[in-house]
Structure 1
């Protein structure tokens, strides 16, 4: 049984290793490689705050529950630490290479001793004017106990001696998050000489402790358990989360980052004071909190960055002079972000807010920003007297605080805010606009695979379906009534909802492919997702493979399925695409007895990954694509490009991902979509030469 699955946490670490590999990819522009290093470091932070914290909690509570690959919590933690250590070594090695590349471009990271006198003078001015006033140096003695260190808190621990004395004392300086991490002290325009915040503060620490000498110091950072469990009787979710967020900052330490080569005695003193375990310590080559290296990514040469890409406008809407209601009424369309502008979603809602014929707007919000244009459109609509409802999911991890503020802001503008269910995250992404046309109410819907987040929408690949089809619209109306009023809509006609119906529907679709294989018909599955974890779905894929169903899976992140195993999964192929954009859309395609791609194949888009949380503990949407042009765009264009991609692809074989061998002229899915407009957004019949080169 245990040999059937990959470990979820180790699979995630494999994914982050692929991200980190992009930092070492010399085909990429220099600053983009630095950005990938920062992203990988930030990813690891979140992994420790949630996933590793969960394993520690299991060990503490003496929970014996085994993972799907048969590991106890202690065994899993041991493997996580080994893999994390490998990632850390890889990160340190890549940074050493990047630093050399940066130095060739006259970008340097310097210690205080390597600065000339003018640069030292400039750094002292920076310290006195921009840093020192916000620092709170604290001695550590019986009257000044060791302070509490907040989650992701960066600090300096110092050993000092009073001049003429031999006895050492200790002090700590917490470095506020709102301070810059790197300061350029060069006096030459073409040169960047960066000095880190910790190097700056330690160099002038005697100004904070007059009469003392600094004997040793170390730079450190703590990561704490940041997961939040919802109490079953949490009657007021907002109050509960406001309290829980305060507790999050005080969770147990799951990671202690120290600069490599730190003084042993100081390290020992620190570990004792904060009651950390030795196994939580990670030694970083140069900068703890490596994610902050992205702060240097300003200015520089054009060739330091990816070539600028401006998302295309939606041609279909342009053909109707910007009128979304007319464009959508003509036929369904899918907008492919970020290649086509996310402004399409914003413009649709703005038009709805301004249109006197629009009576009501209903909107889900999972992740967005307080200053989001979508939020502004909803506020504007409410202020103009329209009925506006926002389903705000405050349980969106790490966005809870922002979503509470967002909800309160919406309510002040007259928006009716609903928080959904206590034990079900509302992860579905949808808008419903009700408009009076010819004395009849007509409904327009937007259904997405991603979040309504204006920043993420520039780098996440997602799909936005716009439709006035009454079948979709009626189902989405019932979905909103379910979330706001708890009236169970039962089984819908064209939209499949989790947790009640999505798993059974997927099972039926896979089973149908098995039956087709048994009957000698074509049997094949193409599926694209962020993560594949659910063991029941994986087992069904295995069963389908054993009956001869060909299965192609495009899984960006975690994959617990083992492909290519004889007599179990030899008909299953798994690949992961990692590149400039983050693959995020979820697409599920079934051959339905016909070779793929074909108009008779069944194509679905969804907000859900194939994970227990999505299928069993979240409110998700999956819907079938009916319009032929949209069907062709998703199947023949998007999925086919995933097939053909070599430049960005990694194949999963023997528990490991292997980069696909590619030449400079190899096909890149991202480059293809940057240069080729989508089909349904054009508003014309399918242009065959747009997709002929994508045929398998």
Structure 2
């Protein structure tokens, strides 16, 4: 039988020999073409958990990965499970790309999550805690404390904890209390000595206090006890003369999937503020509790919160592994990754406005965190804010962090009379409140603040500086893959380009007109802009590679980004694979493709890279028939190959035009292809197989390369002097 071609998501038949009857083959269903997004994301989180289980990682870093796994799962329930549950409640049943209804997906999610949280607990109790004890770090129960330690902890409790606690009981005079999202509580079953009726009370574990208490003042002794357990052991102080019949730690997760129509709002700022207020009281999508729950209390909570059995998760371990942060932060260097200081490349060592000369002479490709973000991107905006020759600064801010130097620089520039424009994305999930605050601060300082294009979330990472020079106005631009956030720049891998090329900066000027005005420009010379031309350009380049392969010319695609879910791009990739195009995709999170399927995607490989840094850089390569692969086309930018990024967000991707920078990109992509330590290979059924080499991993190699290059440059500079 001839191999079917994939054209538009369906299977078409080729004409058979005239000596045999024609057979019409059945179309390929979406179940054959795609994997499930939600299951793919859970598979990704299981790979994160594997880092906690991996004895090759330093012990306290493994503990940190346990917290990341738990935090990821929290966000998954708030966003994805919350959205699916809302579909069910509203009677909406859109099927996923692989043909599953919301109800089917929720059932499958639960079947995967329960073993995952059991593996978390096993890793914590059976592996990490014993390993910590060998390093004299003890996470103790109340019963493990000595009499002296109990006395000391009791004194600490009376002085620092007891006054903060607020027990809330439920009775005809006290309604069921509001329980905030992701807060840990103690549910308490009480009985009056002269009564028979059971009463419920809730004690919130205060987040303002350390969740693990050091049981001695000697900082060389690492013995800790859980704040939750300390409160639980002293409940009689909160309910004197009452009988405590049962205690159950629990935690709620609330829906963060918005059903508000912000596009019709007259004031987007007010709409987002209202959504934040409503989110606090959103419906509960998950209740987690400790082992051996009080049946009466659990039934009571389910009735009050309108939950079903499928919403309840019993945790054999901790309710919140991020609480272990105080342990992860212990100053024990041999239990952590070797410290790494991002290197400052020679181009950016000169102080002051020399940075503009550097960019004007040569495009600069930056690779963070290996190369310093503060000494390049942050410096670029800071110097621009202080330089009297700079007339205007324009930036997009998606997630910028607290106490941002970029905010300070923009405010300083505005106060000096420069034209400063800042697009603040108010709809950046879970950063809305921070972004509202910074938008207000910027406006108060005289910055022109805009909130983006109606109906689209602005995710692009772009900055533009306009400078008065002898030959006239000169524009400088930064286009990156990551946020303007100093904190995340230290542990997210990202790429950025600083350029003064007119063919790029002229597009960036037009791009900001699109963001702040009503420009309908659709013929950008070099930039790929979503939702304007990015999707069509990417699809055309994939199809062009297929044509090259069909005519025997060199054809290759390499793409690296966070997540993949775009059916038309997937079908184009399948078609390119069938024509013989070699395709390597590095997708850290979920990927809805099916690689390695005979007759459909045999030439397509998908790899997930998990390790010390969060792989966040987006880079795209198309060989385009070039004999030398470095002469192919390279792009970096803010967009994943996701429907939302290509069609429902504002994104910016820039070509790499300088050949020396192309060589740097090619070197990075080849390291990714050769990677064996941090790599997980995706199988055609959506599962992953770990390569599991003991060789140095990608992150270690890139840190060493950065150090070596910096040392060579330093030696060369010293020799010149």
Structure 1 position 189, deviation (Å): 4.6
User: Is the CA contact 1:366–1:392 (under 8 Å) kept in the aligned structure 2?
Assistant: yes
Match of 2:368 in 1: 337
Which residue does 1:535 correspond to in 2? 567
SS at match of 1:434: strand
- Residue 662 of structure 2 is aligned to residue 631 of structure 1: yes
Which residue of structure 2 aligns with residue 203 of structure 1? 233
SS in 1 for 2:478: strand
Matches of residues 464-613 of structure 1 in structure 2 within 5 Å?
464-594=496-626, 598-613=629-644
Deviation at 1:683, TM superposition (A): 12
**What number of residue pairs does the alignment pair up?**
681
Unaligned runs of 5+ in 2: 1-28, 717-721
1:211-360, aligned counterparts within 5 Å? Answer: 211-228=241-258, 229-318=260-349, 323-343=354-374, 344-360=376-392
The answer to whether the 8 Å contact 2:461/2:637 transfers is no
* Aligned-pair Cα RMSD in Å: 1.9
Residues 353, 383 of structure 2: 8 Å contact kept:
no
Partner of 2:393: 361
Aligned to 1:64: 93
Map 1:66-81 onto structure 2 (within 5 A): 66-81=95-110
The C-alpha deviation readout for 1:499-518, integer Å capped at 9, x for no partner, is 12001001110111111111
For the structure 1 residues 374 and 499, does the alpha-carbon distance in structure 2 shift closer, same or farther, using more than 3 Å as the test?
same
- Residues 116-138 of structure 1, C-alpha deviations (whole Å, 9 max, x = no match): 12111111122122212221112
Secondary structure in structure 2 of the residue aligned to 1:36: helix
Q: Provide closer, same or farther for how the CA distance between residues 680 and 391 of structure 1 changes in structure 2, counting only shifts above 3 A.
A: farther
Per-residue displacement from partner, 1:230-276 (whole Å, max 9, x unpaired)?
Answer: 43311211000101001111111111110122222222222222222
Report if the CA contact (8 A) 1:428-1:620 is conserved: yes
1:612 and 1:682 map into 2 onto residues whose CA distance is 43
Aligned mates of 1:437, 1:681 — CA distance in 2: 31
From the superposition, tell whether residues 156 and 647 of structure 1 become closer, same or farther in structure 2 (CA, over 3 Å).
same
The whole-number CA distance in structure 2 between the counterparts of 1:251 and 1:165 is: 35
Q: In structure 1, which of residues 33, 54, 68 is the aligned counterpart of residue 83 of structure 2?
A: 54
**TM-score computed with the length of structure 1 as normaliser:** 0.95
Given the alignment of the two structures, is residue 382 of structure 1 paired with residue 411 of structure 2, yes or no?
no
1:170 equivalent in structure 2: 200
Give the whole-Å Cα distance in 2 for the aligned partners of 1:582 and 1:232.
33
CA-to-aligned-CA distance 1:125-176 (integer Å, 9 cap, x gap): 2212221222111222111121121211221111223457665432111223
CA distance, structure 2, for counterparts of residue 660 and residue 549 of structure 1? 24
SS in 1 for 2:631: coil
* SS of equivalent residue, structure 2 residue 181: coil
Partner residue, 1:693: none
Distance 1:364 1:215, change over 3 A: same
Q: Whole-Å Cα distance in 1 between the matches of residues 205 and 61 of structure 2?
A: 27
Q: Give the match's secondary structure for 2:536.
A: helix
Structure 1's unaligned 5+ residue stretches are 688-696
d(CA) in 2 for partners of 1:65 and 1:159? 42
- Mapped partners of 2:232, 2:711: distance in 1: 59
Change (3 A) 1:322 1:358: closer
* Residues 497 and 56 of structure 1: CA distance in aligned 2, closer, same or farther (over 3 Å): same
Query: What are the superposed Cα offsets for residues 360-412 of structure 1, whole Å, 9 maximum, x if unpaired?
Result: 10010000124111111111111111111101011101001110001001111
Q: Per-residue CA shift, 1:93-134, capped at 9, x if unaligned?
A: 111211111122222222222211211111112212221222
Partners of 1:187 and 1:244 in 2: CA distance? 45
8 Å contact from structure 1 (residues 630, 679) kept in 2: no
The answer to whether the 8 Å contact 1:153/1:175 transfers is yes
Q: Which moved more, 1:391-400 or 1:295-304?
A: 295-304
* SS across alignment from 1:432: strand
Separation in structure 2 between the aligned mates of residue 593 and residue 682 of structure 1, nearest angstrom: 37
Preserved contact between residue 40 and residue 291 of structure 1 (Cα < 8 Å): no
Match of 1:615 among 636, 639, 646: 646
**Of 81, 84, 88, the match for 2:117:** 88
> Which shifted more, 117-126 or 514-523?
117-126
Partner Cα distance (2:540, 2:84) in 1: 34
- For 1:291 and 1:298, how far apart are their aligned partners in 2? 12
Aligned-residue offset at 1:643: 0.9
Counterpart secondary structure, 2:263: coil
- Cα distance, 1:490 vs structure 2: 2.0
**Per-residue displacement from partner, 1:176-216 (whole Å, max 9, x unpaired)?**
33232111113555432222121111111111112123221
Whole-Å Cα distance in 2 between the matches of residues 432 and 659 of structure 1?
Answer: 42
Match of 2:6 in 1: none
Is 1:433 the counterpart of 2:465? The answer is yes
Give the C-alpha shift of residue 294 in structure 1: 1.9
Is the contact made by 1:42 and 1:291 (CA closer than 8 Å) also made in structure 2?
Answer: yes
The answer to whether structure 1 residue 118 and structure 2 residue 139 are counterparts is no
Shift of 1:313: 0.5
Divergent runs of 4+, >6 A? 319-322, 678-684
Shift of 1:293: 1.8
Q: Find 2:56's aligned residue among 20, 23, 27.
A: 27
Q: Is the 8 A contact 2:364 2:497 kept in 1?
A: yes
After the TM superposition, which of the residue ranges 67-76 and 117-126 deviates more from structure 2?
A: 117-126
Helix, strand or coil: the match of 2:314?
Answer: strand
Partner of 1:401, secondary structure, is helix
Change (3 A) 1:500 1:668: same
SS in 1 for 2:438: helix
Q: Which residue of 2 aligns with 1:455?
A: 487
Could you say which residue in structure 2 is the equivalent of 1:694? none
Taking structure 1 as reference, are residues 105 and 136 closer, same or farther at Cα in structure 2, changes over 3 Å only? Answer: same
